Amino acid sequence: VDLNLMKPNQTLSGLTANIISSIDKYFLEYQPDIVLVQGDTTTVMGVSLVAFYHKIKVGHVEAGLRTHKKFSPFPEEINRVLTSRIADLHFAPTSISKQNLLDEGIAESDISITGNTVIDALFLATKKVEEINPKVPGLENYELKNLEPYVLITGHRRENFGDGFINICEAIAELADKYEDHNFIYPVHLNPNVQDPVKKLLSGKKNIHLLEPQTYLPFISLMMNSKIILTDSGGVQEEAPSLGKPVLVMRENTERPEAVTAGTVKLVGTNKNTIINEVSKLIDSKEEYEKMANAVNPYGDGLASQRIRKILKEN
């Protein structure tokens, strides 16, 4: 169901109100037995709340992720905490996620460690990409192999709006000047708070490629062929390590500490010099690069959806 909710410069309060009123009509018409929500978006929180109002059981996929910082990420941390209070079944990706839920008083009988369906989808997608070699919108005239080596960049977090994104863009611009033999590929989020600093500071450089937001398969192709990934995304922290890609996360903390512990992910924040130094280290040092690229991904084996299906049948 496409609720067609996204509007330019929409407030979170307005978005939440639209989600609640729109999904309420859908539940009245279809009356599902259970609602599955995935992740920590405002849609997840809003839909869970409406399901609760209708006394519909809720299953939460990717349950138990926490930074324990109310405004980081914003608003996702509170979205997932509220969803956990509503959910009846909690599908935690890791033992750390399960422990977070237990610490909040969730009954152990309601929690299952399943891995993350993100990895299931990734394994299916990589096979598809290898079969069809999808074109990347904005790079139709290139073979990705001919752009290698390249750094793939994504950024959209609200807590980075303003000075954070200016610092990120200044760091990317300096890296592009420093490493003229590398390309920097950035699918730019449509939010004006992202678009404005990115276009102002990064347009016109020959080795920086600013793209429109990508659909799933082209983005997976971009990840598969990249050398390093610089991101503030949560999902990419799980996907990229399965592809053997070092991930530098432009945030001060993460709800995915397993990846940091495993060595697949490093937090670099939004300090310009830190970003430059950490990217440079991976480009200049084969040892540093391989240490991150060869670390083991802790987020699943591609069978999470099968485990979740089995639990749903039993409930």
Q: Which helix (H) or strand (E) holds 245?
A: none
User: Quick check: is 2 in a domain?
Assistant: no
Active-site residue, from 66, 80, 90, 158: 158
Separation of alpha carbons 226 and 183, rounded Å: 10
User: Quick check: is 4 in a domain?
Assistant: no
pLDDT at 275 over 90: yes
Can 182 be counted among the known catalytic residues? Answer: no
User: Quick check: is 3 in a domain?
Assistant: no
Active-site residue, from 159, 170, 189, 252: 189
Q: How many CB atoms lie within 10 A of CB 314?
A: 6
In this prediction, residue 168 carries a pLDDT of: 94
Map tokens 């929500």 to a residue.
37
CATH of the domain at 66: 3.40.50.2000
Q: How many CB atoms lie within 10 A of CB 71?
A: 11
Separation of alpha carbons 111 and 99, rounded Å: 10
Q: Is there a single domain that holds both residue 48 and residue 195?
A: no
User: Quick check: is 27 in a domain?
Assistant: yes
pTM for the structure as a whole: 0.86
User: pLDDT-based confidence at 132, cuts 50/70/90?
Assistant: very high
DSSP 296: P
Can 209 be counted among the known catalytic residues? Answer: no
User: Quick check: is 6 in a domain?
Assistant: no
Provide Rg for the chain, Cα atoms: 20
In this prediction, residue 3 carries a pLDDT of: 83
Mean pLDDT in the chain?
94
pLDDT at 118 over 80: yes
Can 177 be counted among the known catalytic residues? Answer: no
User: Quick check: is 306 in a domain?
Assistant: yes
User: pLDDT-based confidence at 55, cuts 50/70/90?
Assistant: very high
Q: Is there a single domain that holds both residue 20 and residue 104?
A: yes
Average pLDDT over every residue of 175-181: 97
Q: Is there a single domain that holds both residue 215 and residue 75?
A: no
Q: Which residue has the higher pLDDT, 315 or 214?
A: 214
* Contact of 295 with 262, CB cutoff 8 Å: yes
Q: Is there a single domain that holds both residue 111 and residue 124?
A: no
Q: Is there a single domain that holds both residue 126 and residue 268?
A: yes
User: pLDDT-based confidence at 193, cuts 50/70/90?
Assistant: confident
Q: Is there a single domain that holds both residue 94 and residue 18?
A: yes
* Contact of 153 with 250, CB cutoff 8 Å: no
Q: Among the listed ranges 41-50, 149-158, 180-189, which one has the minimum average pLDDT value?
A: 149-158
Q: Is there a single domain that holds both residue 126 and residue 235?
A: yes
pLDDT > 70 in the chain, percent: 100
User: Quick check: is 76 in a domain?
Assistant: yes
pLDDT at 191 over 90: no
Active-site residue, from 40, 255, 258, 278: 40
In this prediction, residue 37 carries a pLDDT of: 98
pLDDT per position as a tens digit, 68-116: 999 989 999 999 999 999 999 999 999 999 999 999 999 999 999 999 9
Q: Is there a single domain that holds both residue 141 and residue 251?
A: yes
Separation of alpha carbons 293 and 247, rounded Å: 9
The total number of structural domains in the chain stands at: 2
Selection from 211, 147, 210, 204 nearest residue 181 by Cα = 147
Can 77 be counted among the known catalytic residues? Answer: no
pLDDT at 175 over 80: yes
Average pLDDT over every residue of 157-184: 92
Can 76 be counted among the known catalytic residues? Answer: yes
pLDDT per position as a tens digit, 276-307: 999 999 999 999 999 999 988 888 889 999 99
Average pLDDT over every residue of 209-222: 96
Q: Is there a single domain that holds both residue 98 and residue 154?
A: no
Q: Is there a single domain that holds both residue 186 and residue 159?
A: yes
In this prediction, residue 141 carries a pLDDT of: 83
Q: Is there a single domain that holds both residue 164 and residue 263?
A: yes
User: pLDDT-based confidence at 8, cuts 50/70/90?
Assistant: confident
Map tokens 């991101």 to a residue.
231
User: pLDDT-based confidence at 144, cuts 50/70/90?
Assistant: confident
User: Quick check: is 189 in a domain?
Assistant: yes
Active-site residue, from 66, 90, 156, 182: 156
Can 62 be counted among the known catalytic residues? Answer: yes
Q: Is there a single domain that holds both residue 110 and residue 127?
A: no
Q: Give the structural domain span for 132.
A: 120-293
pLDDT at 1 over 80: no
In this prediction, residue 162 carries a pLDDT of: 83
